[in-house]
Structure 1
């Protein structure tokens, strides 16, 4: 009996430690993103340039997704149940912005493709007005998988589901196995299309890089590295899409193990990429890097970043 109590106390302590550590990491991530967003609004050049506007969209979507997902994790940690209709509304945000980031990365790749392969048309195609329209299109396309997944709940759930109190996890409110399979099929089809676009852009830019010389060659080589970075970020997003299926499989085995696996997946595949990738992208851009340095030094870093 004493051994069982000791094991329960150890399990409870480890859960609290994981929870506190996770909150520290979330705050660190949001602080980094806040610094990057402040830098974005420091110069008019940033919020009138397509590539920086799309970069800001990824920062906002990642931050919003993390905030809502962390709220759900807090509910789970403190065993707070909410009504089914409210859970569906809350789940809409992470489901939507789980897709917004990879679609935005693909749009950033297309922007680099236009800048390098069609430089004379870049000013017209990637104007601020067109970029804003593009953001609306990104959210429209990203909402399609989300609506498909949520519609499966409306089809299968009874009326009592909406008034009953539930532990708000998407794995728990998808009742049928076919719903999980459909979600997997939708995400994999979407990422196949995005990967094809990125590979196409990379091949086209590589052809231009071979034919370029001097400064043009240096610029196209940088464009190639940027597209590769977007491809790597997209790969991380694809891995994130597999995490819910891993969570759902582990949940069928053991709930305590599920909590550990979900925690590790959240830190490694959700938190770390959404913290490191935007920071790396911002640091490798010379103009943005010097603006970021100026903000970090509270304006004491004096350099003409333009």
Structure 2
């Protein structure tokens, strides 16, 4: 999907595709980081606190970007349906770029605050910088302030994003009932915004992954907890991050044919009969 969104000019010069690329890029980085930590844990490899801190802060950087990008994408759909004549003037490439810069700046500021809170911890009290447990987000919440800030920031971001997407959804529904509205466009935008709400809900569910495992480990056998952990990891961590690719890769009529061609390894289609039957020759 990332390659597809950079392969054509229409994708590079359309605001919603630029926002989609930003969303998929952040989710991809988060998936790579989570997969790396999962493999390290499966191989029973522990890290030092500085190395683990870098990986966790990288995840925190991209973790906030997804809901904020969904908000901007929802507002873009709202403007397209409710203010179609002003859409081209409001949703420009320049404004989209500025929105992305603001999103990354906010996320970077969040990470900077988390690093400053982490530096307040007395690492000299530790016997060694080598971690005894596997690297994870909870492992780097070494003091109460870090834990409270993490919960407060995530709660604020997800509540604000949910309110913004919900308001956009309601606005599109109201606009769809008006006589002057484009019914087909409004219906498609309504479904897209509803999917954005589902994405936000699934992303929010990832915050209960570790607390839920900790609670279950107190009452269930270790083998059962490990099996449940694998299921939760796929359903709560991986699936929500893949949902954007599935939604736009399958539903979007502009992306789908180009994506399918890329997935077929850039097959060369040669006309075989006067009826335009095609034989695909795989080149790679």
1:267 to 234, 238, 250: 234
How many residues end up aligned between the 2 structures? 267
- 1:276 and 1:132 map into 2 onto residues whose CA distance is 24
Q: Residues 107 and 88 of structure 1: is their aligned pair in 2 closer, same or farther, counting only changes over 3 Å? A: same
TM-score, normalised via structure 2 length: 0.83
Match of 2:189 in 1: 223
Per the alignment, residue 279 of structure 2 pairs with none
* CA deviation after TM superposition for structure 1 residue 116, in Å: 1.4
Shift of the 217–227 alpha-carbon distance from structure 1 to 2, 3 Å rule, reads same
Residue aligning to 2:150: 183
Pair 1:296 & 2:263 matched? yes
Q: Does 1:120 align with 2:85?
A: yes
Flag the structure with more relative contact order, 1 or 2, with Cα contacts below 8 A and sequence separation at least 6: 1
Q: Which deviates more from structure 2 when the two are superposed, residues 237-246 or residues 109-118?
A: 237-246
Mapping of 1:136-215 within 5 angstroms?
136-159=101-124, 164-166=129-131, 167-176=134-143, 179-212=146-179
Offset, 1:202: 1.0
Q: Please, which runs of 5 or more residues in structure 2 have no aligned partner? A: 271-275, 277-284
| Segment drifting more, 289-298 vs 93-102 | 289-298
Mean CA deviation greater in 246-255 or 121-130: 246-255
Q: How does 1:1-306 map to 2 (within 5 A)?
A: 36-159=1-124, 164-166=129-131, 167-176=134-143, 179-212=146-179, 216-250=182-216, 256=222, 259-297=226-264, 298-300=266-268
- CA-atom RMSD, angstroms? 2.7
- Greater mean alpha carbon deviation, residues 136-145 or residues 161-170: 161-170
Alpha-carbon contact 1:180-1:245 (below 8 Å) kept: no
What is the SS of the residue equivalent to 1:119?
A: coil
Taking structure 1 as the reference length, what is the TM-score of the superposition?
Answer: 0.77
